[in-house]
C-alpha cells in the first residue's frame, strides 16, 4: 500500500514557560478530526516540559510517579476529538481486553446511575451552552467523593498511559504526594499547563462544526461517541485542520498571557 502524501510544517509557539519548536507531517488529503489529537498532545507535553523545568529549577520537586493513582479518581473531561479517538483506540484493543474495559465501564455506569450522576453527565454533554464553572465544580466534587477508579486503571497502573487524555497529562503536582489522597480538603500545588489540550480541541470542534463547546466526562465517553459516530465521519483537509488547531492554540496562549499580566498587575497594586 502506498503511504499517503504528506506536507512537513515547522512550528514555533511562544508560551509563558518559553518557546516550543517542533515539526509535524500532515497528510495532504482529507482526514478526520481525530488525526489532530496526537499532535495536540505532543504540543501540550512540549509546553509542559518547559514549565516542569522552570519549576524544578526554582527548587520545587515533582511528586507524581508510577503507582501514584490518586488523581485517577477524579472526573476527567475529554474534548470531542479526544472522545472519538478514545473510542477508536478501545475498538482496536484485543477482544479480551475490550471485554474487560467494557465490563468496568458498565460497572461504573451502574454506580453513577444509582447516585444520579449519570443523568447530570448526559445533560452536560447535550447542553446547548457550555456549562458554568460552578456547575462543573459541583459535578466534579460529587464524582470525586465516590472515589471510583478510572475504568482504565488496573492494579493502580494506567493501562492507556500512552493514549491518556490531555487533562491527565496536564495534572502534575509539587505538593507532598500524601496530600493527593484527599484533593478536596488538602492544599495541592499543581504545575501550570501552558497549553490545555482539551480546551483547545474543544474550541477547534466548536469552530469546525458551529456547535457548543463540549467537554465529555470520561465515564460517558464511549457511549457518547457511539451515539455521535456520524460526526466522526466528517473530513477536513489536513493542512486546514492543522491551521485551525494552531489558531486556537495561539488564541488560548494569548488569552492566558493577558490573564497572567492582569494578575501580575493586581498583585503589584
Average pLDDT of span 209-227? 93
**pLDDT attached to residue 269:** 39
The answer to whether the beta carbons of residues 51 and 192 sit under 8 Å apart is: yes
Q: Is 99 helix (H, G, I), strand (E, B) or coil?
A: helix
The answer to whether the beta carbons of residues 150 and 73 sit under 8 Å apart is: yes
Which pLDDT tens digit goes with each residue over 60-115?
Answer: 988 887 778 888 999 999 999 999 999 999 999 999 999 999 999 999 999 999 99
**pLDDT attached to residue 1:** 61
CA atoms of 137 and 144, how far apart (whole Å) = 10
CA atoms of 93 and 80, how far apart (whole Å) = 21
**pLDDT attached to residue 258:** 56
130 versus 259: which is more confidently predicted? 130
**pLDDT attached to residue 259:** 53
Which pLDDT tens digit goes with each residue over 160-196?
Answer: 999 999 999 999 998 888 888 887 788 888 898 999 9
CB-count burial class (<10 Å; 0-12, 13-18, 19+) for 269: exposed
Torsion sign across C-alpha atoms 104, 219, 97, 64: negative
268 versus 162: which is more confidently predicted? 162
260 versus 138: which is more confidently predicted? 138
Q: Is 223 helix (H, G, I), strand (E, B) or coil?
A: helix
The answer to whether the beta carbons of residues 231 and 75 sit under 8 Å apart is: no
**Range of lowest pLDDT (54-58, 127-131, 237-241):** 127-131
Q: pLDDT tier at 261 (50, 70, 90 boundaries)?
A: very low
Which pLDDT tens digit goes with each residue over 34-65?
Answer: 999 999 999 999 999 999 999 999 999 888 87
Q: And the C-alpha cell for 14?
A: 511562544
C-alpha to C-alpha distances, 46 to 40, 51, 113, nearest whole angstrom: 10, 9, 38
Domain boundaries, the chain: 6-259
C-alpha to C-alpha distances, 148 to 57, 58, 63, 144, 188, nearest whole angstrom: 35, 35, 22, 7, 20
Which pLDDT tens digit goes with each residue over 194-214?
Answer: 999 999 999 999 999 998 888
**pLDDT attached to residue 2:** 66
Q: Is 39 helix (H, G, I), strand (E, B) or coil?
A: helix
Amino acid at each position: 500500500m502506498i503511504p499517503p502524501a504528506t506536507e512537513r510544517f515547522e512550528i514555533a509557539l511562544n508560551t509563558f514557560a518559553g518557546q516550543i519548536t517542533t515539526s509535524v507531517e500532515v497528510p495532504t488529503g482529507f482526514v478526520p478530526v481525530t488525526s489532530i489529537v496526537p499532535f495536540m498532545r505532543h504540543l501540550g507535553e512540549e509546553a509542559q516540559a518547559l514549565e516542569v523545568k522552570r519549576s524544578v529549577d526554582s527548587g520545587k520537586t515533582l511528586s507524581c510517579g508510577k503507582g501514584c493513582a490518586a488523581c485517577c479518581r477524579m472526573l476527567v473531561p475529554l474534548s470531542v476529538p479526544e472522545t472519538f479517538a478514545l473510542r477508536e483506540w478501545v475498538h482496536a484493543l484485543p477482544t479480551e481486553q475490550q471485554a474487560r474495559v467494557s465490563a468496568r465501564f458498565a460497572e461504573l455506569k451502574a454506580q453513577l446511575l444509582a447516585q444520579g450522576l449519570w443523568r447530570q453527565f448526559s445533560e452536560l454533554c447535550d447542553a446547548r451552552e457550555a456549562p458554568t464553572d460552578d456547575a462543573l465544580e459541583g459535578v466534579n466534587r460529587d464524582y470525586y467523593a465516590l472515589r471510583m477508579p478510572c475504568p482504565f486503571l488496573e492494579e493502580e497502573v494506567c493501562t492507556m498511559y500512552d493514549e491518556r487524555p490531555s487533562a491527565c497529562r496536564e495534572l502534575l503536582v509539587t505538593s507532598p504526594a500524601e496530600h493527593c489522597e484527599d484533593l478536596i480538603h488538602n492544599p495541592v500545588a499543581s504545575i501550570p499547563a501552558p497549553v490545555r489540550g482539551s480546551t483547545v480541541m474543544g474550541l477547534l470542534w466548536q469552530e469546525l462544526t458551529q456547535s457548543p463547546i463540549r467537554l465529555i466526562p470520561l465515564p460517558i465517553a464511549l457511549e457518547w461517541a457511539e451515539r455521535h459516530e456520524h460526526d466522526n465521519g466528517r473530513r477536513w483537509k489536513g493542512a486546514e485542520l492543522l491551521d485551525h488547531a494552531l489558531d486556537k492554540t495561539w488564541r488560548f496562549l494569548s488569552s492566558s498571557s493577558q490573564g497572567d499580566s492582569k494578575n501580575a498587575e493586581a498583585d503589584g497594586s
